[in-house]
Structure 1
Amino acid sequence: MSEISPFKAIVIIEEDVSEFWQWDVSRWLVSSGCRYMLAWGTECTSWDESVDEAGLEAFDYEDIPEDQRVMTTSHDDEELSEAFWFAKHRAHHPAQELRDTIILHIAEQARQQELIEMYEDS
């Protein structure tokens, strides 16, 4: 991956995954520079929690510098288009300008172009 840190990540969960895999991905997001993670789909509140925990773990559960803090939200009762709109227009970090957004789609079938177009139209 090229240098895009810090960034926003929209995690779209359409497939059940193991807890261990979810934790590995959550840690990877934090260590890669994700500073705002929005989760949508299957069990998205557990992603909110696992990324929060990964952020704390990255600093040994000590004080986290404001610019390193990871903001998280879950959007379980919303349409995906609403979560995209929120990501694009309302999800702001208090200490970082997040210019880049990554869409992480966890699913059996890829929908890359469809998701990119939906995000661009939001």
Structure 2
Amino acid sequence: MTETPHYLHLPPGSPLPDIGHLSPFRALVIIEAQVESGWQGKVSDWLVQSGCLYMMAWGHDCTTWDDSVDIANLEAFDYGDIPDECDVFTTWHADESLGEVFDFCKRHARHPVVDLPRVVLVHVALHSDATCMIEAYAAA
């Protein structure tokens, strides 16, 4: 049975909560609102610093999120060698349905060195929709 994901609603520009207790984890960033690039960079740094080791992006401008998280991971190691157990994998899913990305997260998002038992749904949107997102993840 698949563990229920942790749902986190992040309105654009909002402060970022402490989620380090979930480390290590997979994050599916669901972008349903436009965000400023500076805040996106902060979210990317926060994900890396919080223990995200596999980030999947879906939604508005999702193709920029994998680059943003990749840069945050490089910066965390001063653009030097990144230990295998700290290397963050990133994907973007512009041409897939959210259900397909939920399925990808469940079946294929694996880190080659670290077990990632927890999933965090990071919902970047104006309004929270925890019940719908968690039910859709369970159904995928």
- Same fold, judged at TM 0.5 (above): yes
**What's the TM-score bracket when you normalise by the shorter of the two chains?**
over 0.9
- Structure 1 residue 105 and structure 2 residue 123: aligned? yes
Q: Residues of 1 paired with 2:25 and 2:56: CA distance?
A: 11
**TM-score between the two structures when normalised by the length of structure 1:** 0.98
Runs of 4+ in 1 over 4 A off after TM superposition: none
Match of residue 103, structure 2, among 76, 85, 108: 85
Say if 1:50 and 1:117 are closer, same or farther in 2 by CA, change over 3 A: same
Other structure's SS at 1:120 match: helix
Deviation, 1:116, is 0.6
Deviations 1:38-60 (A, max 9, x none): 00000001001100110000000
On the 8 A contact 2:20/2:50 being kept in 1, the answer is no
Deviation, 1:111, is 1.1
**TM-score between the two structures when normalised by the length of structure 2:** 0.85
Q: Residues of 1 paired with 2:56 and 2:111: CA distance?
A: 12
Q: Which residue of 1 aligns with 2:68?
A: 50
Q: Residues of 1 paired with 2:109 and 2:37: CA distance?
A: 26
Other structure's SS at 1:40 match: strand
Q: Residues of 1 paired with 2:123 and 2:22: CA distance?
A: 18
List runs of 5+ in structure 1 lacking aligned partners.
none
Other structure's SS at 2:22 match: coil
Over the aligned positions, Cα root-mean-square deviation in angstroms equals 0.8
Aligned residues: 122
Other structure's SS at 1:96 match: coil
Q: Which amino acid aligns with 2:115?
A: E
Q: Residues of 2 paired with 1:105 and 1:114: CA distance?
A: 11
Other structure's SS at 2:99 match: helix
Q: Which residue of 2 aligns with 1:121?
A: 139
Percent of pairs with identical residues: 50
Q: Which amino acid aligns with 1:26?
A: S
Q: Residues of 2 paired with 1:71 and 1:120: CA distance?
A: 23
Match of residue 47, structure 2, among 3, 24, 29: 29
Deviation, 1:2, is 6.1
